[in-house]
Structure 1
């Protein structure tokens, strides 16, 4: 009897249906997100694209404070990495776009600053930055050492599980650049737009699914089939299945369907115009774009836009949205990528935000001419802005020879002598 029960249990295990590892219920029980649906929504994706590409096309410059201004500084090896090649497989544009995409989508972005010890003698040496690696935010956990287990109470540590190798690494906060969204309630971790506006983003995605289903059905509405008499459940299901195959699908659109005597097809029309489907979808898209700080013309809404208005919106995008992002990036980079000695000597990084404010050629030349003629730019500085080489003698500020100091305005028109009686 015991042997029979063992065989029976073994047989039951063999015939048990296999568990689908992609089943939503199983993944939810395991705490695994089976994929992010927010990014499939076109407005959400467009906003991510706009912010990520904007960060990717802003060149990072290395400066040194001099007096009340700044000058371009000769970059060291660490600065050259950030400006030219953060790591062996990424260009700067790809690197910063990846960081911003992680930050906006997950609320936080992390960059591992890889260093190695370089000996400078028998008893000395220092650490040198060799590369910068973005870490996928959904595989990174932030831990605060409140108890001082690692010797520094209150310090942050970052645990990263590499999805490619499966290995887990722990980095201290000194070796990780941490960028976050503006929305943070503890100052440590940022909140993502997809979490805050979960219902709004989900609603816009469901509206797109409704349109997709409508196209799949050949843009035909649901119908009610009326018949005389009564049918049992089995025959009714067979009848419904037959007419579903005849009426749904793009290949059946416009076809004639035969209806037996005693039966009537009654369309259940729900017009998109009556439900204000377009207006609601457009309004929801603008709400999501507004949460990201994206202007209407940047999500292809040109209903109330003109050329001048689009240029104004681009300036507003820089001031209202990107200026905070750039300030946060620059502060984190300057603290984590530079030594205390470099910061004390006035070295710092700064993104060149002027690249997204380039105007047409005529306006650009007029602005440069005014700046040179009024002693704001040297001729060579103006030439460098339009990618032309410097010329000899072009590093001197020039102004109109008829200009006089404010204290001497009108002196040429005074009659008689000065206050001492001299003519």
Structure 2
């Protein structure tokens, strides 16, 4: 039996009805005469680059479990959650592959889900990714969230909220997230139509657009038939460039602009910027170097971290701390973004020099941030040098 994501749960497994029914609605439909869904949207190079840049960075950033101490915090590599988040969350994925996959789901579908497998002590022992199209969320009369997950055989399993890691994006109701593609379907559809327009022009090499002049005495019905015949054979992006055949005595007069007059190439570049806006992505991060130069590329990278990545990283951290950390008063998880914010070598050197001279950072800490081996006594030598000076 083929699974129907829009079928209510009481129709699937005869369970009682719930006050509110939510479903991860499929992203689909037409805009600008083309089909817009996650697959066609990702075929746009700008959309693919935005999704890849964000998901690859989130997946590759170090994600550590920390223990709160009297002096602040320290890494907790012995915590059972550390291995799941930093190394292998399950038997067939690395941590990078797992987090990259779920982040792609967040960006393309608005929601990412992973089933939490716990051991006999109730601690997480594995995280299994679940495709968003296979998940339906219910809310009981008591306000509890339940997750219906459909497996490959069509069987539905019901999980409690503390058995699912759910990362969502731009939710309207606090339960189901929305993707930029779902919200701005027209923007993506226009980019797809512009690309298809250019492809058809180069493929078929003809561009016909204008008015049809008929012979005197043509009735309204005959004119309507000619118009409808023309529209059936020429209208729409997919029919662009096809050779037209007119009735005897009719003449075609071109009134359209050329691609150069319409600044088609400029419109194509604008579609790149529009797609970047959907994901709050600096265009330079997807290969658009028009506004980039040597002096601002470092700042654009910092903009990427603070204005693009920060929201996603915090969403991951809070979702994990909420359902995976059993003792949040003692332990918590957090990403390490220091490597992305380092800047160029000269800027880092000036920053470290000022930090050491002002006394709020030690030389050993600088070496640790730069992934350099520890030198015993380097901080004592620095202190002696200051005293001698």
Structure 1 length normalisation: TM-score? 0.69
Q: Which residue, 279, 282, 286 being the options, matches 2:273? A: 286
Tell me which of 163, 169, 186 is aligned to 2:173: 186
Which of 115, 122, 125 is residue 127 of structure 1 equivalent to?
122
Displacement of 1:265: 9.8
Contact 1:376–1:397 (Cα < 8 Å) also in 2: no
Pair 1:321–1:389, CA change in 2 (3 A): same
- 1:210 Cα deviation (Å)? 0.5
Contact 1:87 1:131 in 2 (8 A): yes
Is 1:344 the equivalent of 2:339?
no
* Pairwise CA distance, 1:369: 4.1
- Map 1:353-392 to 2 at 5 A: 353-392=337-376
Correspondence for 1:115: 118
Provide, for residues 207-241 of structure 1, a one-character-per-residue CA deviation record: whole Å limited to 9, x for no partner: 101011011114x4339999x9xxxx9xxx9xxx9
Match of 1:103 in 2: 106
Q: Is the 8 A contact 2:191 2:271 kept in 1?
A: yes
Is residue 124 of structure 2 the alignment partner of residue 171 of structure 1? Answer: no
Compared with structure 1, are the counterparts of its residues 161 and 356 closer, same or farther at alpha carbon in structure 2 (3 Å cutoff)?
Answer: same
- For 1:197 and 1:32, locate their aligned partners in 2 and report how far apart those are by CA, in whole Å: 11
Instruction: Call closer, same or farther: CA 1:192–1:223 in 2, change over 3 Å.
Output: closer
Q: Which runs of 5+ in 2 are unaligned?
A: 1-25, 30-36, 216-224, 234-240, 243-248
Note closer, same or farther for the CA distance 1:266–1:374 as it changes in structure 2 (3 Å cut): same
Contact 1:221 1:270 in 2 (8 A): no
Aligned to 2:67: 64
Q: Which has the larger radius of gyration?
A: 1
Q: Structure 1 residues 270-279 or 356-365, which shifts more?
A: 356-365
Distance 1:265 1:290, change over 3 A: closer
Provide structure 1 residue ranges, at least 5 long, that are not aligned to the other structure: 1-30, 118-125, 147-152, 242-247, 250-261, 405-423
Q: CA deviation at 1:398?
A: 4.5
**Within 1, Cα distance between the matches of 2:377 and 2:64?**
25
Q: 1:140 to 1:263 in 2, by over 3 A?
A: closer
For residues 232-264 of structure 1, what are the alpha-carbon distances to aligned partners after superposition, in whole Å with 9 as ceiling and x for unaligned?
A: x9xxx9xxx9xxxxxx79xxxxxxxxxxxx999
What is the rounded CA distance, in whole Å, between the counterparts of 1:396 and 1:70 in structure 2? 23
How far is 1:100 from its partner? 0.7
SS of alignment partner, residue 303 of structure 1: coil
| Range 108-117 or range 166-175, more displaced | 166-175
Question: Post-superposition shift, 1:135?
Answer: 1.1
Aligned partners of 2:147 and 2:161 also within 8 Å? yes
Which gives a bigger RCO, structure 1 or 2 (Cα 8 Å, sep 6+)?
Answer: 2
Kindly state the Cα deviation for residue 295 of structure 1 after the two structures are TM-superposed.
Answer: 0.9
SS in 2 for 1:185: coil
Which residue of 221, 225, 230 maps to 2:207? 221
Q: Is structure 2 residue 199 aligned with structure 1 residue 212? A: yes
- 1:401 is aligned, of 369, 386, 389, to 386
Contact 2:298/2:344 (<8 A) preserved: no
Is residue 2:122 matched to residue 1:88? Answer: no
Q: Does 1:145 align with 2:137?
A: no
Q: Give the total of aligned pairs.
A: 331
Deviation by residue 1:127-153 (Cα, 9 ceiling, x = unmatched): 23211112111211111112xxxxxx2
Partner of 2:23: none
Superimposed CA distance per residue, residues 4-34 of structure 1 (whole angstroms, 9 cap, x where no aligned partner): xxxxxxxxxxxxxxxxxxxxxxxxxxx8969
Asked if the contact 2:363/2:379 (under 8 Å) is kept, the reply is yes
Instruction: Tell me, in whole angstroms, the C-alpha distance in 1 between the residues paired with 2:287 and 2:190.
Output: 20
